[in-house]
Amino acid sequence: MPLMRGKIVGYDSERMSFSFTMINGDNIVECRISGAAMDQLIGAKGTENLARQAQFLAHRDQIERIASDLYDAGPPVNGAVIRIFTKHVEAKA
């Protein structure tokens, strides 16, 4: 079952990832996508931290689809964080 859209949390410069939530019934699923994975998704390199939210919003549907697919692929564990890395994203040609 696909996850439903949740809230935007924002970019964490320590973890170098963008955090957001998705919803599975009554459960909130924490999700993160690395900055490198977002860049790979759009064929960019070295996007500045201040531009990460705009980058996420522009590609939100794709990112959330990847998170939902990862969630469906593995056994759901309460409290687990869905982490999207470059290996989960097809490089844009």
The mean pLDDT values, 10 residues at a time, for the chain of 93 residues are 91 94 93 95 89 95 95 81 92 64
Note the pLDDT of residue 63.
96
Taking the whole predicted model, whether its pTM rises above 0.85 is answered as yes
pLDDT of residue 77: 76
Alpha helices in 1-93 (DSSP H): 35-42, 52-58, 60-73
d(CA 56, CA 73): 23
pLDDT (0 to 100) of residue 93: 56
CA distance 59 to 67: 13
Nearest Cα to Cα of residue 65 among 31, 35, 34: 31
Nearest partner of 55 among 93, 10, 6, judged by Cα: 10
